[in-house]
Amino acid sequence: MNNYIDQLSIDCVVFGYQSKTLKVLITKIINIDNCYALPGGFILQNEDIDIAARRILNERTSLDHIYLDQFKAFGKNNRRDQRFIQQVMENQIWNTNQSGIKIDLNWLDKRFVSLGYYALVDIENVVLRKSEIDESVDWVDLDKVPQLIFDHNEIISEALVELREKFDKKLIGFNLLPSIFTMRDLQELYEVVYDTPFARNNFQKKILDLNVLERLEKKYTGAANKAPYLYRFIK
Amino acid sequence: MNNYIDQLSIDCVVFGYQSKTLKVLITKIINIDNCYALPGGFILQNEDIDIAARRILNERTSLDHIYLDQFKAFGKNNRRDQRFIQQVMENQIWNTNQSGIKIDLNWLDKRFVSLGYYALVDIENVVLRKSEIDESVDWVDLDKVPQLIFDHNEIISEALVELREKFDKKLIGFNLLPSIFTMRDLQELYEVVYDTPFARNNFQKKILDLNVLERLEKKYTGAANKAPYLYRFIK
DNA sequence: ACAAAAGTGTTTCTTATACACCCATGC
DNA sequence: GCATGGGTGTATAAGAAACACTTTTGT
């Protein structure tokens, strides 16, 4: 593990949106019962931290150009999880490097400072992959996240606060939608993020006045009502 | 240096306000010509990162309860300064621990990830102190900051962006003022921070409507005009 | 024709900005 | 009295929220 920076990690809160629900990506740690965590990893000695975060995300999502924001470093002294560490050691996870050579696991038994990133992805574009320490990687509804190791639940909470703060201001919501969508799709996303309903007409006016949407053809769904326009986010 | 976390540091942008000018605290590194830096330090193995930041600030300002906000981690791979490192080694700074025992300096010759904090202090309450690596610690006008080591100039820029974003929203400006001040004092601070003038009457109304100020007695300065009220920030 | 949902226009209210006036203070 | 800066009130403009109406679609 010598090519990584010691005692420093990255944890990513990957937000996805599907069926009017916000979801986050959760990994199940291999060889340990009921042990869930945020997708995370470490920083190579010669790697920018942002690049490291992209690498870690790419390993799980297969995506290259992800909207990513580093929002806070988590570094409480009690940020440890004795049960987790013990199980890792007992089950010999991480105990060999890429060449299969046994390595010292003592580096794990220290407090880590973790850099928290949140990412926004179009869930349809994601091809889930497991890294070597994942038993599985899955989308979980934001309100059904199980107990995670360390302070990962807190990291999610803080990521959500940050997301809400930046969401409208920086117009990052489009990263959660397919490239083409209806105004209703967008409004429902806003309503889910802010957990509050918006007036349809006022919402439409506000969004269109931003001049960031290109109106495309109508979307005929077969429903017995007026067909909505499709839009594409520009710039 | 074994009791610190390796390759992880803290750098603090300490904002002060005096004579209608924003100032930041800059240290001059001992034994190196023209080498300036942000007040910074390292994190003890059993120390919360926020506590570490407070310790580092206390060493320089003698203050205990500082408004502090961790705003970003800086971790580009090219975050090194060969000239600085070389000089440190040549001049034997940091080469002994508290007991005077020589220690290995190789830990310095690596890339560091730094946690950026900004602090707001009432400049009148600060009693400047030097830490063991400071030749001096001084207040510098924000627009007269010299070239600093590493990416410290960039850290200041980003801290200022963050300050402006949070300043009005979180009402943190009062941390830069004495506990008792006039409305004009407050307005001038706002004008400096946002680099824009505000209408006197509207500013007063806006601030008073926040219901966070207690009106005290008038302040008789001897000037040939109506004496302004003094205010105190509450809650 | 009708229900359902989309698009658009108008009114109302809230809030921010601009404008105007009077008051206290020391010379 | 008067110049100077402080406090307050009112008018106006801008933006958000509420309300209302018309249009399109498939049954």
pLDDT tens-digit readout, B73-119: 999 999 988 788 888 777 776 666 656 566 666 777 889 999 999 99
Per-residue tokens: A40 = 């995370």
**Average pLDDT, stretch B111-129?**
97
What three-state secondary structure class fits B121?
coil
Please give the helix or strand (H or E) that residue A162 lies within, else none. Answer: helix A152-167
pLDDT in tens, B42-72: 999 999 999 999 999 999 999 999 999 999 9
What three-state secondary structure class fits A207?
helix
Query: B109: which DSSP letter?
Result: S
Contact A73 B47 (CB under 8 A): no
**Average pLDDT, stretch B149-162?**
97
Per-residue tokens: A66 = 């992800």
Whether A19 has its CB under 8 Å from any CB of chain B: the answer is no
Q: Which nucleotide is nearest to A200 (CA to C1')?
A: C6
Q: Is pLDDT of B155 > 80?
A: yes
Positions of chain A with pLDDT lower than 70, given as ranges: 1-2, 93-105
Which chain A residues are within 8 Å of B43, Cβ to Cβ? 75, 113
Report d(CA B89, CA B172) in Å as an integer: 40
Whether A6 has its CB under 8 Å from any CB of chain B: the answer is yes
- Chain D nucleotides with an atom closer than 7 Å to a protein C-beta: 3-9, 16-20, 23-27
Contact A113 B6 (CB under 8 A): no
CA nearest A114: which of A89, A83, A80? A80
C-alpha separations of A120 from A49, A57, A174, B105, B214 in Å: 18, 11, 9, 41, 44
pLDDT in tens, B167-199: 999 999 999 999 999 999 999 999 999 999 999
Looking at residue B208, what is its pLDDT?
A: 94
Per-residue tokens: B96 = 């002994």
- Architecture per CATH, B177-233: Orthogonal Bundle (1.10)
What does pTM read for this prediction? 0.93
Indicate the burial class of B200 (C-beta count within 10 angstroms; 0-12, 13-18, 19 or more). exposed
Q: Please tell me if the domain spanning A4-167 has the same topology as the one spanning A179-233.
A: no
Place of tokens 């890339």: B111
Looking at residue B81, what is its pLDDT?
A: 81
> Is residue A112 within 8 Å of A61, Cβ to Cβ?
no
Minimal-distance CA residue of chain B relative to A46:
B77
Report d(CA A66, CA A57) in Å as an integer: 8
Q: What are the structural domain ranges in chain A? A: 4-167, 179-233
Per-residue tokens: B182 = 């006039």
Whether A55 has its CB under 8 Å from any CB of chain B: the answer is no
Q: Which residues contact B223 (CB under 8 A, 6 or more apart)?
A: none
Q: Which residues contact A37 (CB under 8 A, 6 or more apart)?
A: A11, A26, A27, A29, A148, A149, A150, A152
CB pairs under 8 A between A and B: 61
Q: Is pLDDT of B2 > 60?
A: no
Q: Is pLDDT of B202 > 90?
A: yes
CATH number for A179-233 (one of 1.10.8.60, 1.10.10.10, 1.10.150.20, 2.60.40.420): it is: 1.10.10.10
Say how far A225 CA is from C4 C1', in Å. 6
Which chain B residues are within 8 Å of A5, Cβ to Cβ? 6-8, 111, 113
CATH number for A4-167 (one of 3.40.50.720, 3.20.20.70, 3.90.79.10, 3.40.50.300): it is: 3.90.79.10
Report d(CA A132, CA B51) in Å as an integer: 35
CA nearest B11: which of B46, B47, B36, B33? B36
Report d(CA B235, CA B214) in Å as an integer: 10
C-alpha separations of B7 from A116, A219, B132 in Å: 18, 54, 20
Report d(CA A186, CA A207) in Å as an integer: 9
Report d(CA B202, CA A14) in Å as an integer: 43
Q: Which residues contact B195 (CB under 8 A, 6 or more apart)?
A: none
Q: Cα B53–A5–A56 angle (5° rounding)? A: 105
